[in-house]
């Protein structure tokens, strides 16, 4: 059975525990890289949500996770407001797939 994880600052991800996610509290980008590395090797990992505030400081960790794992990794905005990291990731994926910048500027 697949597991769902929420990764980020504890006060931002604690609510996900109530809906069945396993929470992985971290407080810096180095820990994010370590935790994503661990999760990418777990065959039961099916979904990983990462707070945007952590993901913006570690784009390489996100890229490496996606290269190693078939699990879905999604960057989620927080109450602090979106930094548009999620949009930029989606825009890059669409551009790679279609060969054009279909979504345009931010």
Q: What is the CATH number of the domain that holds 47?
A: 3.40.50.10580
Q: Is residue 87 part of a domain?
A: no
Q: How far apart are CA 58 and CA 55, in angstroms?
A: 5
Please give the residue range of the domain that contains residue 28: 3-80
Single pTM value for the model: 0.78
Does any domain span residue 73?
A: yes
| DSSP designation for 85 | H
For residue 13, the model assigns a pLDDT of 94
Is the pLDDT at 40 greater than 90? The verdict is yes
The count of structural domains within the chain is 1
Strands 22-25 and 45-51: unpaired
Tell me which of 100 and 81 has the higher pLDDT: 100
Contact between 53 and 32 under an 8 Å Cβ cutoff? The reply is: no
Q: Does residue 69 form part of some domain?
A: yes
Residue 69 has pLDDT above 90, yes or no: yes
In the predicted structure, residue 98 carries a pLDDT above the cut 90:
no
**94 lies in some domain:** no
Give the integer Cα–Cα distance in Å for 63 and 71: 12
More confident residue, 84 or 23: 23
Query: Contact at 8 Å (CB) between 12 and 78?
Result: yes
Up-side HSE of residue 5: CA atoms within 13 Å toward CB?
22
């Amino acid at each position: 059975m697949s597991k769902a994880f929420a990764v980020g600052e504890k006060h931002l991800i604690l609510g996900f525990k109530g809906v069945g996610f396993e929470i992985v509290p971290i407080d810096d980008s180095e820990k994010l890289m370590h935790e994503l590395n661990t999760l990418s090797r777990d065959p039961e990992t099916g979904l990983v949500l990462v707070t945007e505030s952590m993901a913006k400081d570690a784009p390489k960790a996100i890229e490496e996770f996606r290269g190693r794992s078939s699990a879905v990794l999604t960057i989620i905005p927080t109450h602090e407001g979106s930094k548009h990291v999620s949009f930029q990731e989606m825009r890059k994926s669409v551009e790679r797939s279609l060969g054009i910048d279909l979504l345009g500027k931010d």
